[in-house]
Amino acid sequence: MFSPPTTKKARPSDEAENLAFLRNYCQSTIVEIIKLTLSKIYFVKTQPLQR
């Protein structure tokens, strides 16, 4: 009746969940990269050149 996860074939719902998780993970990672880049650009633009 119950098969262990290793032999169980992925149901469509499982694959959909994995895809949704991956999409959310990628989106949050991209958002973090964009935030870092924007803050870096903003910092560079607002700082007067000291050299």
pLDDT tens sequence across 10-48: 567 888 899 999 999 999 999 999 999 999 988 888 877
Give the residue from 42, 45, 46 showing the smallest Cα distance to 34.
42
pLDDT band at 6 (very low <50, low <70, confident <90, very high): low
The pTM score is 0.50
Query: What are phi and psi for residue 49, nearest 5 degrees?
Result: -70, 125
Beta strands in the chain (DSSP E): none
Find where tokens 């633009």 sit.
45
